[in-house]
């Protein structure tokens, strides 16, 4: 039985959009906090039964239309040869990227074996997931992984990354083939769609994104035609001037800086568009939350179901720690009630 999310991927016109949020599993949930008190973050990702339990919790608690693998986008860096730790606070790599380190990276086939746990976690989740719920995988975009390898974060001016184009090219020769295999493993585990989360790509000037990052992204999209979605925080219309590149994706996610009704009525757009309620506003209380949700939904209600074709309703980025669980539940229920 196909659910809303699968039907959107198939191009159907629906009255009520599917609802899915980035980071819908995690620190804001009491159930996650209980598991995290007993297990390390690394164990929650690497042990298939635990990863499946975390992935499934938002489906059981909030009835989202899709589950997304609970994992981390930095694991391919570890597979290549970085040390990676989640012991205290944000993830930490044991060294910065250099050309000498690139030369010592594991071969693609060997590195891919280090990521088999994601395939197994997907399969464990698929075994638990109702047939009317979609299953999503994800990987980081090549540029974003490069930024983490260079800077240890994706924040700040990214000076080292932006002034190291030759090193990016050397890194991409290793990371792009590994991401192809990583994505393939997630599809083998049962994914309906794999998202590329390119958190740092919106920090690139449009011309630099098109010259430096877009060719590698196009390689990934061509490897899995119509099966990959793409999201980059801070993406601007000027980044999307290459319509052939945009059309290579099954869909694009948009952050809260965009008007979703405008995106949906553009002459050229991908099969699905995902987003884009501001995650900070999901932390509002009482009437303020109701107003913010009304402001978001009213322009969408003014569109016909045909104009809304392909809309996957959610956030403009991930659920923030501290977000009230009741607001997440109310968001899902309100969207379903308003678009019957």
Mean pLDDT throughout 280-302?
Answer: 97
* pLDDT tens digits along 308-336: 999 999 999 999 999 999 999 999 999 99
Tell whether the model's pLDDT for residue 130 goes beyond 80.
Answer: yes
> Which range of residues forms the domain containing residue 259?
4-338
Tell whether the model's pLDDT for residue 1 goes beyond 80.
Answer: no
User: Higher confidence at residue 18 or residue 266?
Assistant: 18
State the average pLDDT for the chain.
95
Mean pLDDT throughout 78-85?
Answer: 96
Q: In sequence order, what are the beta bridge partners of 193? A: 136
Tell whether the model's pLDDT for residue 218 goes beyond 90.
Answer: yes
* pLDDT tens digits along 150-186: 998 877 899 999 999 999 999 999 999 999 999 999 9
The enclosing domain of 165 has a CATH number of 3.20.20.210
Mean pLDDT throughout 293-298?
Answer: 97
* pLDDT tens digits along 102-118: 999 999 999 999 999 99
What integer pLDDT is reported at residue 238 of this predicted model? Answer: 86
Mean pLDDT throughout 288-295?
Answer: 98
| Number of domains the chain is built from | 1
pTM summary value: 0.96
């Amino acid at each position: 039985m196909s659910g809303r999310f699968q039907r959107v991927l198939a191009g159907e016109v629906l009255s009520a959009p599917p609802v899915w949020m980035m980071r819908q599993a995690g620190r804001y949930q009491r159930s996650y906090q209980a598991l995290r008190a007993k297990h390390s973050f690394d164990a929650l990702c690497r042990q298939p039964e635990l990863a499946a339990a975390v992935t499934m919790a938002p489906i059981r608690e909030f009835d989202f239309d899709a589950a997304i693998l609970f994992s981390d986008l930095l694991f391919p860096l570890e597979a290549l040869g970085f040390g990676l730790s989640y012991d205290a606070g944000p993830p930490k790599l044991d060294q910065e990227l250099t050309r000498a380190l690139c030369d010592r990276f594991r071969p693609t086939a060997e590195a891919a074996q280090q990521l088999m746990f994601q395939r197994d976690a997907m399969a464990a989740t698929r075994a638990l997931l109702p047939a009317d719920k979609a299953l999503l995988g994800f990987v980081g975009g090549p540029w974003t992984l490069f930024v983490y390898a260079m800077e240890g974060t994706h924040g700040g001016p990214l000076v080292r990354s932006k002034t190291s184009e030759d090193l990016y090219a050397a890194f991409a020769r290793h990371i792009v083939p590994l991401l192809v295999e990583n994505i393939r493993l997630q599809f083998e585990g049962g994914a309906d769609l794999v998202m590329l989360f390119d958190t740092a790509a919106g920090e690139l000037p449009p011309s630099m994104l098109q010259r430096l990052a877009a060719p590698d992204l196009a390689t990934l999209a061509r490897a899995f035609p119509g099966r990959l979605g793409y999201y980059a925080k801070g993406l601007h219309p000027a980044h999307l001037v290459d319509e052939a590149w945009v059309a290579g994706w099954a869909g694009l996610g948009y952050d809260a800086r965009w008007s979703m009704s405008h995106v949906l009525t553009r002459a050229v757009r991908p099969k699905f568009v995902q987003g884009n309620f501001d995650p900070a506003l999901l932390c509002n209380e009482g009437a303020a939350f109701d107003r913010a949700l009304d402001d978001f939904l009213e322009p969408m209600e003014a569109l016909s179901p045909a104009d809304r074709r392909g809309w996957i309703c959610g956030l403009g980025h991930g659920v923030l720690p501290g977000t009230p669980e009741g607001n997440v539940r109310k968001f899902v229920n309100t969207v379903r009630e308003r678009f019957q």
